[in-house]
Structure 1
Amino acid sequence: MTLFYRVIRQSGRACAWALASACLMLACNAAQAQMTGPEGRVYDVRTEQERYTARFQPGGAYLDDRPRTGRWQFDGRTLCMLIAAAGPQAPEYEVCTPWRDLEIGESYESRYWTAQGGPAHITRIQ
């Protein structure tokens, strides 16, 4: 009976260890997915005033085809973009938006992508 009890007890520990490991891996994968952010992605942005393609380069460089450049930062929850001045008519501005992880082709509406807080339609295209 003692041998049987030891086998059951060890099997129970092994099962508990396997279950805990699986849960940890799932949590890590979910956190990793959340932390992906915009790096390497391209978005079509439509506002009331303009339409442009925004590119989030590795290392924090921002480019779009208006043409504007800048920097971006992502903390796992919030994307902040500092868009450089493009002359006196288009000054530098910074916007921060709660992160929305989109698949290619998915869209959403936001008021966080424009300097004035106007509506913008954001579609991930790459």
Structure 2
Amino acid sequence: MQVDPHSTIRRQSVIIEGLSLEADDLKRKVQKLEDELSSVPVVNEIQNKLHQMESKLEETETFAYQVVEENVTLKSEIEALESEISEVQDTFRIVILPLVTFVCLSVCLSDKKMMPKNLKE
């Protein structure tokens, strides 16, 4: 049994061509997988970002708590100032208004031109 050398060469050429096509296809698949892998963030990168976000959240919560405390303090100070203002207004009504009235009447009595007609006599 003699094998035709041309036939053997053709078969081997077909096998080589098939293997070359398969190798090219596998290279394309490998490249596609490498591209996908490079576009997916690495787990460590995600963990670092998560840690950064947790830290920022803690800072924000601390700041919010401080703002709430400051708000309560300011409200207390405002209430104290409102109370002081009320006391000053009461004092003004009780002390200053009668004094101003007295001074005005004194001036009027000392200057007869300014005195009301019913008091001149």
Name which one, 1 or 2, has greater alpha-carbon Rg: 2
Structure number with the higher helix fraction is 2
Normalised by the shorter chain, which TM-score bucket? 0.3 to 0.5
Higher relative contact order (CA 8 A, sep 6+): 1
Give the TM-score taking structure 2 as reference length: 0.37
Larger strand proportion of the pair: 1
TM-score, with structure 1 as normaliser: 0.35
